[in-house]
Amino acid sequence: MNIKILIVEDDESLGDIVKKFLVKEGYSVDICTDGDAALEQIYNKNYHLLILDIMLPGISGHELLKEYRKISETPVLMMTALDDDDNEIKAFTNEADDYITKPFSMQVFLKHIEALFRRSGILKKELRIGKLTVYTEAYRAEYAGSELTLAPKEYDILLLLAQNNGRVITHETLLTRIWGFDFEGNEGIVHATMNRLRNKLPTNFIKTVKGVGYCLEETI
């Protein structure tokens, strides 16, 4: 699985060091050096992890995080020299998943990243939720041992819901993550694809949260 990470860091030297380290660990890494460029980047590409500095040219890391949470539940690690309680509390209030202060050991940094991926299910080759099994590397899914015949977008939706089990995925997030920011359609394509997916499931375990989005039922 090609795991994609975006680093938003205005210190180009540090950004290059972190990128080289993560590439060596097998990750695909992009870098932005200011908040405005990063905001455009997150709308145009899907990432498995965002690593955000707080003090950035243009939009700050805090504001960038708030904008990102409107479209994605992807893990976010704040990487900053600000070690005060106010900034850390603000980051977690804005739904950051972790917070690490500079300077730091690269090995400790890596463990933070691996922990985030572990919790999000990204590193798992298969996700098991009740009778549902999603094989992330084989691009297929089974229910109660029987393979589901899914179109690519149907599989992508099911995988996203499984990776975020227990969380509601909004219509906007689905549209951006599955079809891309540049898609010219509307939420109708999400509803239509979701209906086709549900018709292929032996039982409907995808719950609609009216006016918000979708999530998996607690018991599948």
Query: What CATH number is attached to the domain comprising 198?
Result: 1.10.10.10
**Residues 6+ positions from 25 with CB-CB distance below 8 Å:** 110
- What is the distance between the alpha carbons of residues 142 and 135, in angstroms, rounded to a whole number? 8
In this structure, are 80 and 157 located in the same domain?
A: no
In this structure, are 105 and 148 located in the same domain?
A: no
Domain with 49, as residue range(s), is 4-120
Q: What is the pLDDT of residue 186?
A: 72
Q: Which one of 78, 93, 120 terminates a domain?
A: 120
In this structure, are 42 and 64 located in the same domain?
A: yes
Beta bridge partners of 210: none
Do 80 and 54 form a contact (C-beta atoms < 8 A)? yes
Q: Which one of 120, 143, 177 terminates a domain?
A: 120
Sheet strands (E) in the chain: 4-8, 28-32, 49-52, 76-80, 98-101, 126-129, 132-135, 140-143, 146-147, 169-170, 206-209, 213-216
- What is the distance between the alpha carbons of residues 78 and 18, in angstroms, rounded to a whole number? 14
pTM of the model: 0.67
In this structure, are 81 and 173 located in the same domain?
A: no
pLDDT in tens, the chain (220 residues): 678 999 999 999 999 999 999 999 989 999 999 999 998 888 878 788 999 999 999 999 999 999 998 888 889 999 999 999 999 999 999 999 999 999 999 999 999 999 998 887 777 778 889 999 998 878 899 999 999 999 999 999 999 898 888 888 888 888 877 887 666 667 788 889 999 999 999 888 999 998 889 999 866 7
Q: What is the pLDDT of residue 46?
A: 79
Q: Which one of 97, 120, 143 terminates a domain?
A: 120
In this structure, are 80 and 135 located in the same domain?
A: no
Do 97 and 106 form a contact (C-beta atoms < 8 A)? no
Q: What is the pLDDT of residue 61?
A: 95
Do 217 and 206 form a contact (C-beta atoms < 8 A)? yes
| Counted domains in the chain | 2
- What is the distance between the alpha carbons of residues 89 and 68, in angstroms, rounded to a whole number? 18
Q: Report the b/e string of 21-40 with b at 16+ CB within 10 A.
A: ebeeeebebebbbbbeebbe
In this structure, are 95 and 131 located in the same domain?
A: no
In this structure, are 8 and 116 located in the same domain?
A: yes
CB atoms near residue 89 (< 10 Å): 11
In this structure, are 135 and 94 located in the same domain?
A: no
Q: What is the pLDDT of residue 57?
A: 93
Beta bridge partners of 128: 133
Q: What is the pLDDT of residue 110?
A: 94
